Amino acid sequence: MARVYNFSAGPAALPEAVLQKAAKEMLDYEGTGMSVMEMSHRSAAFGDIIQGAEASLRKLMAIPGNYKVLFLQGGASTQFAMVPLNLMGGTGKADYVNTGNWSKKAMAQARRYGAVHVVASSEDKTFSYIPKLDAGTFDPEAGYFHITTNNTIYGTHITKLPDTGTVPLVADMSSNILGEAYDVNRFGIIYAGAQKNMGPSGLTVVIIREDLIGGAMDSTPIMLDYKTHADAGSLYNTPPCYGIYMAKLVFEWVLDLGGVAAMERINREKAGLLYDFLDNSSMFSATVSGDDRSIMNVPFITGSDDLNAKFIKEAAAQGLVTLKGHRSVGGMRASIYNAMPREGVVRLVNFMKTFEKENT
């Protein structure tokens, strides 16, 4: 069996130990004689799985009792609609920070339901930095204030959370949830598609403060009302059962490693190896500088499209795959989420050194 080091931005690599456990339990989950995929979502066995997943996530993120954890479908992109449908009804206004493609898509969706105020944007420089935020420009009447904590495509990261007072802070945390520690109390809603740091695609995790549930606009589809899923314990309809099971295994894997703080230390070390090399290389360079750098997605370039293409091709031959940058940015991008072992980053850096020598 030849496993590669997969630097995909998403769906992304999963911990090998988790895949092995799932493989072992594929045909007969804990003596039930069936796969989790074949099991009623109302069975006792699945009840234990979804409750176990929630308990582990609560432990990992120290989620306070006044927050609900929802296991939904539709990806982060459906949250782009659910958030305004549920939170914009009061004043019809919301604040957004525009830090990339995902923020833009979130804003485009929110504009269908109310007035979007762009507090700040980094679009002028292809989203290569995080714009400075001035609390004086925040709308105190906004139904919520939306940020993207980690910008998957551009490799930027919000280091200092804005202080939004009584306006609930809503975060798209798709690409760095469980990759670094956050105080959940700072947020009204955290949402994330699972396929970067938590499991397979098809599962979306929402962590929502209870007082933000129940205010959906009248026209909100029942499936897009947080109350529907909160009241039903995420079992209003058939949830993404297998995704929830896989996420549970990933949560347990992070707990075994020491939790999110331990994971963050490992991630910082991994990212440091790569950034250190990039900052000292005469061929390769990072496209983001300073504090705004993501520790999950690291875009980099050589300065020549031909060399970029050659690098991506030769790296793949070494088992270092999916290094091509997003089509809107070009160059390369190494996504080094929780499941990327340190050894994968070391191998990447060593190959970059060799490539640099051979091509200068």
Residue positions annotated with a catalytic role: 102, 172, 196
Q: Which is nearer to ligand PLP, 102 or 277 (CB)?
A: 102
Shortest CB 11 distance to ligand PLP, Å: 9
- Is residue 175 a contact point for ligand PLP (CB under 6 A)? yes
Q: Are 208 and 230 in contact (CB under 8 A)?
A: yes
Q: How far apart are CA 199 and CA 193, in angstroms?
A: 9
User: According to the binding rule CB under 6 A, does residue 193 interact with ligand PLP?
Assistant: yes
* Cα 56 to Cα 15, 43, 255, distances in angstroms: 17, 20, 8
Strands (DSSP E) contained in the chain are 5-6, 67-72, 93-98, 115-121, 145-148, 150-151, 156-157, 169-172, 189-193, 204-209, 285-286, 297-301, 320-321, 332-335
In the bound state with ligand PLP, the residue whose beta carbon lies nearer, of 143 and 155, is 155
Q: Which of 5, 102, 245, 351 binds ligand PLP (CB under 6 A)?
A: 102
Question: Can residue 122 be called a binding residue for ligand PLP (CB under 6 A)?
Answer: no
Q: Check binding of 294 to ligand PLP (CB under 6 A).
A: no
Cα–Cα distances (Å) from 327 to 6, 307, 330, in that order, read: 18, 17, 5
Cβ at position 45, least distance to ligand PLP in Å: 27
Within residues 198-237, the interface with ligand PLP by CB under 6 A covers none
Determine the residue with CB nearest ligand PLP. Answer: 75
Residue 155 beta carbon to ligand PLP: minimum distance, rounded to whole angstroms? 11
- Between CA 235 and CA 224 the distance in angstroms is 14
Q: Is 71 in the site for ligand PLP (CB under 6 A)?
A: no
Q: Is-cis flag, bond preceding 239, omega within 30? A: no
Tell me which stretch binds ligand PLP (CB under 6 A): 84-92, 169-177, 205-213, 333-341.
169-177
User: Minimum Å distance from CB 10 to ligand PLP?
Assistant: 5
Rounded Cα–Cα distance for residues 170 and 233 (Å): 21
By C-alpha distance, which of 339, 353, 350, 352 is closest to 8?
Answer: 339
172 part of the interface to ligand PLP, by CB under 6 A = yes
CA separation for the pair 44, 170 (Å, rounded): 34
- Segment lying near ligand PLP (by CB under 6 A), choices 75-83, 177-185, 250-258, 285-293: 75-83
Of 32, 43, 73, 77, the one binding ligand PLP (CB under 6 A) is 77
Which residues, numbered 6-65, are part of the site for ligand PLP (CB under 6 A)?
A: 10
Q: Could you tell me which of 302, 299, 309, 289 has the C-alpha nearest to residue 332?
A: 299
Does residue number 75 form part of the binding site for ligand PLP (CB under 6 A)?
Answer: yes
Q: Which is nearer to ligand PLP, 164 or 175 (CB)?
A: 175
Return the amino acid letter for 322.
T
65 burial (CB, 10 Å; 0-12 / 13-18 / 19+) is exposed
Nearer to ligand PLP, 68 or 196 (CB): 196
Question: What phi and psi, each to the nearest 5 degrees, are found at residue 129?
Answer: -150, 170
Closer of 270 and 333 to ligand PLP (Cβ): 333
- Least distance from ligand PLP to the Cβ atom of residue 76, Å: 4
Q: How many CB atoms lie within 10 A of CB 42?
A: 9
Angstrom distances, CA of residue 130 to CA of 56, 214, 228: 32, 33, 35
Residue 143 as a binder of ligand PLP (CB under 6 A): the answer is no
Q: Of the candidates 98, 122, 128, 152, which one interacts with ligand PLP according to CB under 6 A?
A: 152
Which residues of the chain form contacts with ligand PLP (CB under 6 A)?
10, 75-77, 102, 148, 152, 172, 174-175, 193, 196
